[in-house]
Amino acid sequence: MALSHVAPKAFIQHQNLVEQVADYLTQAIIQQHFLPGERLSEVQLSKDLGVSRAPVREAARLLESRGLLISKPRRGFFVRALNAVEFEDVFDLRLCLERHAIEHLAERYSVEAQRALEQQVEVLCEAALGNDETRRIEEDLQFHRLMLHYAGNERLLKAFDGLTHELRLCIALITKTHDAPDTIATSHFKLLEALASGSPAACREAIDYHIGVARKFVVRGVGEPGEPGS
Amino acid sequence: MALSHVAPKAFIQHQNLVEQVADYLTQAIIQQHFLPGERLSEVQLSKDLGVSRAPVREAARLLESRGLLISKPRRGFFVRALNAVEFEDVFDLRLCLERHAIEHLAERYSVEAQRALEQQVEVLCEAALGNDETRRIEEDLQFHRLMLHYAGNERLLKAFDGLTHELRLCIALITKTHDAPDTIATSHFKLLEALASGSPAACREAIDYHIGVARKFVVRGVGEPGEPGS
DNA sequence: GTTTATAAAACTGTCGACAGTCGGCAGTCG
DNA sequence: CGACTGCCGACTGTCGACAGTTTTATAAAC
């Protein structure tokens, strides 16, 4: 592994090594600098990043809990390889969480929440016009995070955050999503309308449609179930 | 392949220190040997358990991701202290997950699933007659885990498992639940009936009632929001 | 007696090192 | 020629130690 993508040694500022390593690994995995199923060498990473193995190990455990890595005892950490079934499961869980959230939100839709969401949709639409796919995805996720937040259950948001890491992975793996970026962006307006209507049923219908579209964009060309070789 | 006579899985279980420490801590927290909000000293734990600090730290990170601990930078790890709001949030999330699961399950209720669930309810009822509260809780959770499992989304089950740790904590904190153990046990029958009917709506109603009862038992005498003193 | 300044203690974050283990490779035996 | 065995390198799991920071204890000043 020549690791040509590796960051300069001084990239890591002495501040919170574990988090920094975790962030670095997250980016590297999502950008597919490490292939799914690939084994991560602790020593190699330590050398590349210029830190010791302790923070690398702790960061790896963090990413394991986020579903980006899996650990095999005495073997080390491997990049999570998602198959089609797990793909569907992730989106199904997402649907579960967001349905619940939006139904709650519909019944407690404050002016503050409305303004925040509308503003975020504007940001999202703006991002959709540009070419920065990463930013578009992040703004999209941010909209949904806001929705979860204003739904009033922080634990729900936390669960969603635990999922966004995998979601990013899902999206990144198929990344050829740019069929109709503006379509996805504008489809958020329907969510706003449903919320404004105050009808939980309408909200549920809207979110079902919304996530269904997103899933359809992503689940396309996903490989067969089974572990790609290490 | 001369391994057919060998005991299933590995006869020699060389369990990681990390997992062992994590299990120990989990038990200690749930049994309230560590009070909520209390600070955990890494060195002290290392000495008590006879291991070095590295596995203790990694175990603590694991428990942090499970919601039993929280880490404050440069301060260390603290036992999670749940207030009434977080309490409600946990149960609300649980409701969200189980609604989704049971509605799915209703549409794919196999004979295998039905048999497994009915058997588990029997085990649960049996456990309810005894005095072992811990076992009752575990059997209860196991029933719900089975339900999630047969719903066909492993990711959903994983999310639930991430919640069971907190659930156990919730239950342990209030632990005076033994008002009517058999009531709770038998109330599972209603879930079985709803599933057998094949109606998602009936299932939803049943699970709403079921979890509502459970929550009512637990949410009682929960303190005010805010951090209890160390 | 209370408050501030200072010193000591305790603790976390991080590191380098050692030992046991795993996978692969070569050599050996059938 | 194929299967088994023992060795070798690489790596993980774990440890003890050091440095910087936070907290506590102590002392001085008001």
DSSP B97-146: HHHHHHHHHHTT--HHHHHHHHHHHHHHHHHHHSS-HHHHHHHHHHHHHH
Instruction: Give the Å distances, CA to CA, from A204 to A52, A189, B89.
Output: 49, 14, 20
- pLDDT more than 70, % of chain A: 83
**Residue A16 at interface with chain B, using a CB cutoff of 8 Å:** yes
pLDDT in tens, A124-149: 988 888 888 788 889 999 999 999 99
Rounded Cα–Cα distance for residues A49 and A31 (Å): 17
The answer to whether the beta carbons of residues B144 and B137 sit under 8 Å apart is: no
Rounded Cα–Cα distance for residues A71 and A61 (Å): 8
Look at residue B216 in the predicted model and tell me its pLDDT. 81
**Of B181, B184, B202, residue with least CA distance to B193:** B202
Residue B221 has pLDDT above 60, yes or no: no
Structure tokens belonging to residue A206: 């809207």
Which range, A20-24, A160-164, B116-120, is most confident? B116-120
Residue B154 has pLDDT above 60, yes or no: yes
The 10 Å Cβ neighbour count of residue A174 is: 15
Determine the nucleotide nearest to A18 by Cα–C1' distance. C13
**Residue B72 at interface with chain A, using a CB cutoff of 8 Å:** no
Nearest to B93 among A61, A99, A159 (CB): A159
In the structure, how far is the CA atom of residue A31 from the C1' atom of nucleotide D16, in angstroms? 38
What confidence category does residue B179 fall into, taking pLDDT thresholds of 50, 70 and 90?
A: low
pLDDT in tens, A181-222: 667 777 899 999 999 999 999 999 999 999 988 888 776 654
Query: DSSP string covering A71-134, please?
Result: EETTTEEEE----HHHHHHHHHHHHHHHHHHHHHHHHT--HHHHHHHHHHHHHHHHHHHSS-HH
Helix axes B42-49, B53-65, angle to 10 degrees: 110
Question: In sequence order, which residues have a C-beta less than 8 Å from that of residue B187 and are 6 or more positions away?
Answer: B209, B210, B213
| Same CATH fold assignment for domains A14-79 and A84-218 | no
**Helical H runs in A130-153?**
133-150
Which strands form B39-40's sheet, in the order they lie side by side?
A: B39-40, B76-79, B69-72
pLDDT in tens, A168-177: 887 776 655 5
Rounded Cα–Cα distance for residues B77 and B53 (Å): 13
- The answer to whether strand D lies under 7 Å from the CB of residue B17 is yes
- pLDDT more than 90, % of chain A: 54
Domain boundaries, chain A: 14-79, 84-218
Residue B223 has pLDDT above 60, yes or no: no
Rounded Cα–Cα distance for residues B147 and A2 (Å): 47
Rounded Cα–Cα distance for residues B156 and B154 (Å): 5
Phi-psi region of A39 (alpha: psi -120 to 50; beta: other; left: phi over 0): beta
Residue A74 has pLDDT above 50, yes or no: yes
Residue B143 has pLDDT above 50, yes or no: yes
**Residue B135 at interface with chain A, using a CB cutoff of 8 Å:** no
Determine the nucleotide nearest to A45 by Cα–C1' distance. D11
Which range, A50-54, A96-100, B84-88, B173-177, is most confident? A96-100
Architecture field, domain B84-218: Up-down Bundle (1.20)
The answer to whether the beta carbons of residues B211 and B163 sit under 8 Å apart is: no
Beta pairing partners, B72? B76
Question: In sequence order, which residues have a C-beta less than 8 Å from that of residue A209 and are 6 or more positions away?
Answer: A187, A190
Look at residue B224 in the predicted model and tell me its pLDDT. 40
Structure tokens belonging to residue B20: 């062992």
Nearest to A96 among B16, B61, B156 (CB): B156
**Residue A155 at interface with chain B, using a CB cutoff of 8 Å:** yes
Residue A12 has pLDDT above 70, yes or no: no
What confidence category does residue B6 fall into, taking pLDDT thresholds of 50, 70 and 90?
A: very low
Q: Which long-range contacts (CB under 8 A, 24 or more apart) does A38-47 make?
A: A38/A78, A38/A79, A38/A230, A39/A75, A39/A76, A39/A77, A39/A78, A39/A230, A40/A69, A40/A76, A40/A77, A40/A78, A40/A79, A41/A1, A41/A76, A42/A76, A42/A77, A44/A1, A44/A3, A45/A21
Look at residue B226 in the predicted model and tell me its pLDDT. 40
**Residue A93 at interface with chain B, using a CB cutoff of 8 Å:** yes
In the structure, how far is the CA atom of residue B55 from the C1' atom of nucleotide C14, in angstroms? 14
The CATH code of the domain at B17-79 is 1.10.10.10
What confidence category does residue B132 fall into, taking pLDDT thresholds of 50, 70 and 90?
A: confident
Structure tokens belonging to residue A191: 């969510």
Which strands form A69-72's sheet, in the order they lie side by side?
A: A39-40, A76-79, A69-72
Higher pLDDT, B100 or A85: B100
Look at residue B117 in the predicted model and tell me its pLDDT. 96
**Residue B107 at interface with chain A, using a CB cutoff of 8 Å:** no
Look at residue B83 in the predicted model and tell me its pLDDT. 85
The answer to whether the beta carbons of residues B136 and B182 sit under 8 Å apart is: no
Contacts of A92 in chain B (CB under 8 A): 100, 153, 155-156
Q: What are phi and psi of B80, to 5 degrees?
A: -60, 130
Lowest mean pLDDT across A25-34, A103-112, A191-200: A25-34
In the structure, how far is the CA atom of residue B15 from the C1' atom of nucleotide D5, in angstroms? 28
Contacts of A154 in chain B (CB under 8 A): 86, 89
- The answer to whether strand C lies under 7 Å from the CB of residue A62 is no
Q: In which residue are the tokens 């109603």 written?
A: B205
A-B contacts at Cβ under 8 angstroms:
69
Q: What are phi and psi of A73, to 5 degrees?
A: -50, 135
Residue B86 has pLDDT above 70, yes or no: yes
Rounded Cα–Cα distance for residues A136 and B31 (Å): 46
**Residue B42 at interface with chain A, using a CB cutoff of 8 Å:** no
Beta pairing partners, A50? none
Find, in chain B, the residue whose alpha carbon is nearest to that of A95: B100
Contacts of A201 in chain B (CB under 8 A): none
Nearest to A61 among B14, B61, B97 (CB): B61
Q: Which fold has domain A14-79?
A: Arc Repressor Mutant, subunit A (1.10.10)
Rounded Cα–Cα distance for residues B16 and B10 (Å): 14
- The answer to whether strand D lies under 7 Å from the CB of residue A14 is no
Rounded Cα–Cα distance for residues B117 and B125 (Å): 12
